[in-house]
Chain A
Amino acid sequence: MSGAAHEVAAARLAAGGLIDRSQPMSFAFDGTTYQGFAGDTLASALLANRVTLVGRSFKYHRPRGIFTAGAEEPNALVELREDARREPNTRATTVELFDGLKAHSQNRWPSLAFDVTSVNSLLSPLLAAGFYYKTFMWPASFWEKIYEPAIRRAAGLGRASGQADPDGYDKCHAFCDLLVIGGGAAGLMAALAAGRAGVRVILCDDDFAIGGRLNGDVRDIAGRSGAQWAANVAAELRALPTVRMLRRTTVFGVYDGGTYGALERVGDHLAVPAPHQPRQRYWKIVARRSVLAGGALERPIVFGGNDRPGVMVASAVRTYLNRFAVAPGRRCAVFTCNDDAWTTAFDLVRAGVDVAAIVDSRKEISPQLIARAQEAQIPVMPGAEVIDTSGRLRLDGITVRDVAGRISRHAIDLLAVSGGWSANLGLTTHLGSRPEWSDALASFVPGTLPPGMAAVGAAAGRFGLSDALRDGAAAGAAAAEAAGFTPSSVDVPVTDAEPTGITPIWHVASSRSKAFVDLQNDVTSDDVALAAREGFKSVELLKRYTTLGMATDQGKTSNVNGQAIMARLTGRSMAQVGTTMFRPPHVPVAIAAFAGHHRGQRFRPTRRTAGHHWAEQQGASFVEAGQWLRAQWFARAGETDWLQIVGREVRAARDNVGVCDVSTLGKIDVQGSDAGIFLDRIYANTFSTLPVGKVRYGLMLREDGIAFDDGTCARFADDHFMMSTTTANAGAVMQHLEHARQVLWPQLDVQLVSVTEQWAQYAVAGPRSRDLLERLLGGSIDLSDAALPYLGCAEFVWCGVTARIYRVSFSGELAYEFAVPAQFGDAAIRALMQAGAAFGAVPYGTEALGVMRIEKGHVAGNELNGTTTAADLGLGRMMSRKKDFIGRVLAERPGLIAADRPALVGIVPVDRSQRLRAGAHFLGIGAAPTMANDEGYVTSVAFSPMCGHWIGLGFLRHGPQRIGQRVRAYDPLRRGDTEVEIVAPVFFDPEGERLHG
């Protein structure tokens, strides 16, 4: 047998534990292959293989080992998996072992055993708390370019894969009468009491084995082992029809209205998630009541060298022994200030591990414990303290000062430490409640609980097992009663008793070497003292100044010790010092779990028009317009330049006829006997006088007098209008109208509903548009100028469907908008193009649409930009003086009617070959480019195929009075400085003759 194999055998106990020895698993850490068993965590499997050095610390790169056996682990952070699935900062103590698992240590270079960056340890006097704040103060210009990048290179833990995550993530909602948080003794009893009564219960436990501390301790419940009792209860719960048990699920947040966030690690214990299974699932749970049964977390003691691999909290040692059948050391000692850790010593002896000493800081210790120790032949040192440790990459000894002040050295490789227990109450503070300190328990306990929550067992500071069982049963019964069920009787089983005495010590002040408070952030007792000296005495300032309690573990093992040291240094009580609060998430949650399926293209839903598929077939390129996808242009074979394509589309529409999908424009049915009055108040211009069968262009203002949205509104009956809005503002206009209807004028008889989705609508524009539509619509409707003049509209039946036609024009051409119910939109566009073939019809996209509207000087989103008034837009005369409307009063404010406000003009480059760019600012010829000389800005530009050069729209101070003058379009971002001529904002067909065909 090789030496290594012999050591493995020695670490794994011959029998016992909740591992499945029939299922060996092989895994690799830093490239070396090891063996473990199903039921192991990565941490227990490493310890079973005597791997005790697993990482380097954050700041000083000190060697670190496995410190706990749970989610509170500050040290054993590893990179799990490889390539795209690589996940940094994974706690080895929570990773369920799977066959083929690969993990790597992090924060070391070049290797874990020889880490060059540990030179930081020698610089540690420089790296005390506040080092960065003090050192990198000046010169200020160095911060961004030199200091911050350098610090960032050195800092950070682990590396992200940098590749797309190949796995899926899921979200799910759940509803219940009772949410039980934690599957230990208290949680199981609560779920049992409620579940047996028929209550809808969800029990979440973050472990893969239900039972909590019952799995790590040797306890007796009603004559069975605690672990067996837990397994039996879990089996009963699984069989209850109204109980759902979620293993591997951590409740990480408490939110308003009885809402809880939880993360289920569905496939994290597999090399690759099962087909069609997500890797993780984010649960949003709405519960009438909840029971917090999250147990307690054991604190270490702060003493010199307390961070060496081989120093471990005492309860974790028990967990490795009892649950995983692993002896984490060969010769051990226990350092404690309480009774509970003595159990660790007894369990170690029972497992055949040599216990060198129990070092207890208390002078008076229960005689029963002393007697048991004598029976187990364990030397006891009452009133003693561990003041230092030794060992290079792992613990090889401790230095103890006994009650008489004598110093002794003990050669050991495992030190079990206990500073007492802290109620795991993070979730109780998420809605703002502050925990309260209990001197009797030496723990914070929950203050006011979130509505509907009860805390039970250790989470409430009731650390005894029989208390936990009793609390859980009572809380479950109460939840049943509250939900209207008759609680069924649940017998609280009898358990063995446990000693619970404690006299906290917190910190061995006589230690001379570095004594760590927060292992993850390398915060030492000296850092806390420095913070106290420099005035950062509040726990909130202590946290920010020293980083105590930050990062992945959020101070689960360190906060209370740090606060206690601060209390001692500043002569205050723990109650006076208090504690920081916890925010969600209670444990780290991957962003991917929150995102769920909404990644990449599916980050948000996409809206496609009825003609989308047709447009795809025509080779359209699409552009996002809010959620919509709109055809931007339709490239033909051989066309490579978008400007060339758009130019062709514009010319084809202006020469013959073009067809454009305008279905995305907002459409709102406005009905009711007061619809006309309502629209008069909404729009700046008048609509109540609009005849049936007519369309009018309308402009609406915001309450503050700024232009809001524009579009046409058609009247189909006395009590029926259909408003159209811009694509971008469709939702906002609907909200605005609903506010007006419901809040401002509930007395009006008006009904509103969006019909945007009902109508597939196509603009048909160009001199041959009437020809095209006459061919398509045949005898369905008379399209003659007399029957359907400019700004006329009609509803008619075509091919068995209700169709609508509006004679409106955004292009300035003879034009129509033709609408059919959306389920016929695909058929209609194909029919339109077929009918148009004889007239040279082409489809055109939003770019050509934009070019044609700029050629006509029609304003759009670039001009309706939330800062412009009707007058700025050249639409001042639309503001009726005969009626009131939203925005009328505030539009009269001095600032909004100032004569020198920039107003709409057209521009052309003086050198016609020059390109214009939107966003450029207007400056006088020769004027310095300063804010004082700013005269306005360019909003929209296009290359006009009809003019043969670039044209633009913009807002210029006194613009309309300066037609013919020249200014500069100054664009420092793109190094543009172009002389432009000011022209009227209509570049093509200024008389509007083409509108009438």
Chain B
Amino acid sequence: MDELAAQPASASFVPPRSASGDGVVITERQNLTLATLQTRRGQHAALRARVAARFHVDLPQRPAVGRTQSVSFVGVGPETWLVIAPDGGPSFVRSLKADVAGLASVSDQSGGHAIFRVGGRAVGATLAKLVPIDLDPAAFKVGDAATTVAAHVGVTLWRCPDGLDGEQVFELSVFRSLAGSFLECFWDSAAEFGCRWDAQPPRASTSPSR
């Protein structure tokens, strides 16, 4: 057989009507390699050093994102990270396991989470309806993350560098099975501002990442 086709989590989602305009744009990030990384007992410092050496990232010690061009580590719990490798390919999880052998446990989650990138003029007003988190630009800075609930759906979200339009950009990770329910609630919340499904994610500006 040929290689299997990966299906986006949003494949069956039919966007409802919203106001005209594009107050909010949303897209699903696809072909990501995802994994949960958890420190083995007593190996925290060693793991941090190993990740720093291998990926040039300081593992965040709080809900925050540590990122390079090729990989991001999102702090999702004590000594637990969601690792995102945009161009990791299937071998990424195997090599990550080998890289941190004895220091951390790795579980492939590439199919477990759907990750949506959202931006636009009204993204803050929309997310305020969904998550009980203060996303004011001064309170929730680029690189900050939070694990919380959005309309009864568990989410982890983090703030990306602002878009070229100067507006905030966030990414939200939800369990794949809940992607449809999440999108329904997101669309409901964004409807008054106008919501557009964007094939191209709102491109990050070249502002320095952290």
Task: Check: A759 CB closer than 8 A to any chain B CB.
Answer: yes
Q: Which of chain A's residues has its CB closest to B131's CB?
A: A173
Cα-based distance from A758 to B106 in the complex (angstroms):
13
Task: Check: B112 CB closer than 8 A to any chain A CB.
Answer: yes
A287 shortest CB reach to chain B, Å: 11
Cα-based distance from A154 to B80 in the complex (angstroms):
61
Tell me whether B105 and A823 are in contact (CB under 8 A).
Answer: no
B181 CB contacts on chain A under 8 angstroms: 602, 605-607
Tell me whether B107 and A671 are in contact (CB under 8 A).
Answer: yes
Tell me whether B107 and A802 are in contact (CB under 8 A).
Answer: no
Interface residue ranges of B81-138 to A (CB < 8 Å): 90, 93, 104-105, 107-113, 128-129, 131-134, 136
B42 CB contacts on chain A under 8 angstroms: 749
Interface residue ranges of A28-47 to B (CB < 8 Å): none
From B4, B104, B128, B132, give the contact of A801 (CB < 8 A): B4
Tell me whether B111 and A824 are in contact (CB under 8 A).
Answer: yes
Which of the 9-residue segments A352-360, A524-532, A608-616 touches chain B?
A608-616
Q: Which of B11, B104, B108, B129 has the most CB of A within 10 A?
A: B129
Task: Check: A583 CB closer than 8 A to any chain B CB.
Answer: no
Cα-based distance from A759 to B180 in the complex (angstroms):
18
B39 CB contacts on chain A under 8 angstroms: 751
Task: Check: A84 CB closer than 8 A to any chain B CB.
Answer: no
Task: Check: A649 CB closer than 8 A to any chain B CB.
Answer: no
Tell me whether B105 and A669 are in contact (CB under 8 A).
Answer: yes
A276 CB contacts on chain B under 8 angstroms: 18-19, 191-192
Tell me whether B153 and A605 are in contact (CB under 8 A).
Answer: yes
B117 shortest CB reach to chain A, Å: 17
Tell me whether B105 and A671 are in contact (CB under 8 A).
Answer: yes
Q: Which of chain B's residues has its CB closest to A824's CB?
A: B4
Contact flag A800-B3 (CB < 8 Å), given A605-B152, A671-B107, A755-B112: yes
Task: Check: B52 CB closer than 8 A to any chain A CB.
Answer: no
Tell me whether A821 and B177 are in contact (CB under 8 A).
Answer: no
Tell me whether B2 and A610 are in contact (CB under 8 A).
Answer: no
A175 CB contacts on chain B under 8 angstroms: 134, 136, 139
Q: Which of chain A's residues has its CB closest to B181's CB?
A: A605
Cα-based distance from A801 to B93 in the complex (angstroms):
12
Tell me whether A749 and B178 are in contact (CB under 8 A).
Answer: no
Tell me whether A749 and B111 are in contact (CB under 8 A).
Answer: no
Tell me whether A602 and B4 are in contact (CB under 8 A).
Answer: no
A777 shortest CB reach to chain B, Å: 9
A932 shortest CB reach to chain B, Å: 46
Tell me whether A275 and B6 are in contact (CB under 8 A).
Answer: no
Contact flag A672-B105 (CB < 8 Å), given A284-B132, A826-B7: yes
A798 CB contacts on chain B under 8 angstroms: 1
A14 CB contacts on chain B under 8 angstroms: none
Task: Check: A875 CB closer than 8 A to any chain B CB.
Answer: no
Tell me whether B40 and A759 are in contact (CB under 8 A).
Answer: no
Tell me whether B4 and A608 are in contact (CB under 8 A).
Answer: no
Task: Check: B141 CB closer than 8 A to any chain A CB.
Answer: no
Task: Check: B27 CB closer than 8 A to any chain A CB.
Answer: no
Task: Check: A778 CB closer than 8 A to any chain B CB.
Answer: yes
Tell me whether A608 and B189 are in contact (CB under 8 A).
Answer: no
Task: Check: B188 CB closer than 8 A to any chain A CB.
Answer: yes
Which of the 9-residue segments A164-172, A231-239, A325-333 touches chain B?
A164-172
Tell me whether B1 and A628 are in contact (CB under 8 A).
Answer: no
What is the interface of chain A mostly: helix, strand, loop, or mixed?
mixed
B178 CB contacts on chain A under 8 angstroms: 605-607, 627
Task: Check: B185 CB closer than 8 A to any chain A CB.
Answer: yes
Task: Check: A116 CB closer than 8 A to any chain B CB.
Answer: no
B123 shortest CB reach to chain A, Å: 14
Task: Check: B61 CB closer than 8 A to any chain A CB.
Answer: no
Tell me whether B38 and A751 are in contact (CB under 8 A).
Answer: yes
Task: Check: B175 CB closer than 8 A to any chain A CB.
Answer: yes
Measured as residues with beta carbon below 8 angstroms from the partner, the interface class of chain A is 35 or more
Interface residue ranges of A756-770 to B (CB < 8 Å): 756-760
Interface residue ranges of B17-39 to A (CB < 8 Å): 18-19, 36, 38-39
B185 CB contacts on chain A under 8 angstroms: 597, 602, 605
Task: Check: B198 CB closer than 8 A to any chain A CB.
Answer: no
Q: Chain B, 166-194, contact with A by CB distance < 8 Å: what is the 0/1 string? A: 00000000011110111011001101100
Task: Check: B5 CB closer than 8 A to any chain A CB.
Answer: yes
From B2, B38, B108, B188, give the contact of A168 (CB < 8 A): B188
Q: Chain B, 51-93, contact with A by CB distance < 8 Å: what is the 0/1 string? A: 0000000000000000000000000000010000000001001
From B2, B108, B176, B184, give the contact of A799 (CB < 8 A): B2
Task: Check: B207 CB closer than 8 A to any chain A CB.
Answer: no
B6 shortest CB reach to chain A, Å: 4
Tell me whether B41 and A610 are in contact (CB under 8 A).
Answer: no
A750 CB contacts on chain B under 8 angstroms: 41
Task: Check: B164 CB closer than 8 A to any chain A CB.
Answer: no
Q: Which of chain A's residues has its CB closest to B127's CB?
A: A173
B153 CB contacts on chain A under 8 angstroms: 605
Task: Check: A604 CB closer than 8 A to any chain B CB.
Answer: yes
Cα-based distance from A628 to B175 in the complex (angstroms):
12
Task: Check: A286 CB closer than 8 A to any chain B CB.
Answer: yes
A200 CB contacts on chain B under 8 angstroms: 136
Tell me whether A757 and B112 are in contact (CB under 8 A).
Answer: yes
Q: Chain A, 401-419, contact with B by CB distance < 8 Å: what is the 0/1 string? A: 0000000000000000000
Q: Which of chain B's residues has its CB closest to A754's CB?
A: B112
Cα-based distance from A751 to B8 in the complex (angstroms):
29
From A609, A822, A831, give the contact of B1 (CB < 8 A): A831
Tell me whether A757 and B176 are in contact (CB under 8 A).
Answer: yes
Q: Which of chain A's residues has its CB closest to B17's CB?
A: A276
B192 CB contacts on chain A under 8 angstroms: 276-278
Cα-based distance from A757 to B9 in the complex (angstroms):
11
Tell me whether B19 and A613 are in contact (CB under 8 A).
Answer: no
Tell me whether B151 and A605 are in contact (CB under 8 A).
Answer: yes
Tell me whether A824 and B6 are in contact (CB under 8 A).
Answer: yes
Tell me whether B7 and A173 are in contact (CB under 8 A).
Answer: no
Tell me whether B151 and A597 are in contact (CB under 8 A).
Answer: yes
Cα-based distance from A451 to B151 in the complex (angstroms):
28
Task: Check: A753 CB closer than 8 A to any chain B CB.
Answer: yes
What are 14 pairs between A and B in contact, CB < 8 Å? A173-B132, A602-B185, A605-B178, A607-B181, A608-B177, A671-B107, A757-B175, A758-B107, A797-B90, A799-B1, A820-B4, A822-B176, A828-B4, A831-B1
Chain A residues packing against B (C-beta within 8 Å)? 168, 170-175, 200, 275-278, 284, 286, 596-598, 602, 604-610, 612-613, 627-628, 669, 671-674, 719-720, 747-753, 755-760, 776, 778, 797-802, 820-828, 831
Can you name 13 extra interface pairs (CB under 8 A) apart from A605-B152, A753-B36?
A: A275-B19, A276-B191, A277-B192, A602-B185, A606-B181, A607-B175, A748-B41, A752-B38, A753-B80, A758-B110, A823-B176, A824-B111, A825-B7
The 4 A-B residue pairs with the shortest CB-CB distance in the complex, in nearest-first order? A822-B111, A821-B111, A671-B105, A605-B181
